[in-house]
Chain A
Amino acid sequence: MSRPADWTPLAAADPVPGDPVEVARVGRRLQQVADQISADVSWLRSLCTAQFWDSGAGQAFHGQVDDAAATLARTYDRYLAAALALGSGLSGPGYAGALERAQSLSLRALTQAQRAWSAMRAQLAVIQGPAPQAGTPSLTLFPALPRLDSSGNPVPLTAPSGADPRLSAAVARYNASALEYRAANGRLADAVAIRDEAAARATALIQAAIAADGLQDQTGLWHDITRTVSGSPRRHDQQQCG
């Protein structure tokens, strides 16, 4: 689903970007790879039973197949973690579902904020009265546009004491809309928080898998030096064993 391009007055750009449908598609793809890896590991290991390899040459081949199966098994956890982190559907527990919910909430916030903003501007026009003639400065105490505080919420207006009842009513309506805008702003903050928390959870899940499987490339100065000296990439276990 395409997102609105205009997020004013709530934000300068889409505060919850992303495509949950695509996230779920990639999640399913990663799950498919993980499933296939798991099946291949089982299949390779079943190939290596003594029943099928009851000879000296067969035993040597057995070792080769078993090594490949062991390495392949380690990649399974990595792909599975990434698949679970992203999720495979919009209603599931993964990031795709959370992003979908956050985007849906942010859209409701935008609609509510735009409605409130429009109402505030209409009330300001009433409060301002007829436009001053050219060259004549406005004498009104009220701004032409809703004024926002540092949190992005409209600053409430106060009618002067003894003001015209119509002005007081317009200020009251303005303030009611300002409250609605504030609620929309809060709803958007909730949406962003849902996305941020889900992204942090997914990131942590993936990073934990990366840290645990021992497959990740070594980086850093010492690794670069040893890599240059050795002239070729080396396996982690070889590097760790010296």
Chain B
Amino acid sequence: MRQGGLNVDGRLMADLGRIWQVPGRLSWVEREVSDAPECTGGDGAFLGSGELASALQSCVTGWRSQREALLAELSSVARLSALAASSYEKTDAQLADALEKAMGLP
């Protein structure tokens, strides 16, 4: 194990602590980007300028298609991260078990 991660067969390396953080870390930005209209406070009357309100509205809500794609990407990364971390842990445990048996350790 190196830098808080796993070193399996000198090839496979991963920092499980960081991988496990991915879903939680991305959830905040996912929420903020999803709730963009909430972020800018309704119809923008507080701006006192229709032109600016329209630009701001367009800025935070006018990228629906790409926002959906981004959220899907982030969601996929979060899911795969959890899966990867779980798999690495499982692999490590299996390898350790096999080595212990092979070496005749108790």
Q: Residues of A at under 8 Å CB distance from B?
A: 16-19, 22-23, 25-26, 29-30, 33, 36-37, 40, 43-44, 47, 51-55, 57-58, 61, 64-65, 67-68, 71-72, 75, 78, 81-82, 85-86, 95, 99, 195-196, 199-200, 202-203, 206-207, 209-210, 214-218, 233-236
Contacts and interface: CB of A to CB of B under 8 A. Distances in A.
B48 A26 contact: no
Nearest to B7: A54
Interface of B: 3, 5, 11-15, 18-19, 22, 25-26, 28-29, 32-33, 39-41, 45-49, 51-52, 55-56, 58-60, 62-70, 73-74, 76-77, 80-81, 84
Given A57-B84, A82-B60, 8 more contacts: A16-B48, A18-B49, A29-B39, A52-B5, A217-B66, A233-B69, A234-B65, A236-B66
Given A30-B39, A233-B68, A40 B14 contact: no
Contact of B12 (A58, A75, A86): A58
A218 B65 CA distance: 9
A52 B18 CA distance: 10
Nearest to B78: A68
Given A61-B80, A71-B69, A36 B62 contact: no
A22 B53 CA distance: 13
Nearest to A3: B48
Nearest to A54: B13
A202 B55 CA distance: 9
Nearest to B57: A206
A216 B63 contact: yes
Nearest to A51: B13
Contact of B13 (A40, A55, A82, A195): A55
Contact of A64 (B40, B47, B76): B76
Given A47-B18, A71-B70, A233-B68, A23 B46 contact: yes
A40 B29 contact: yes
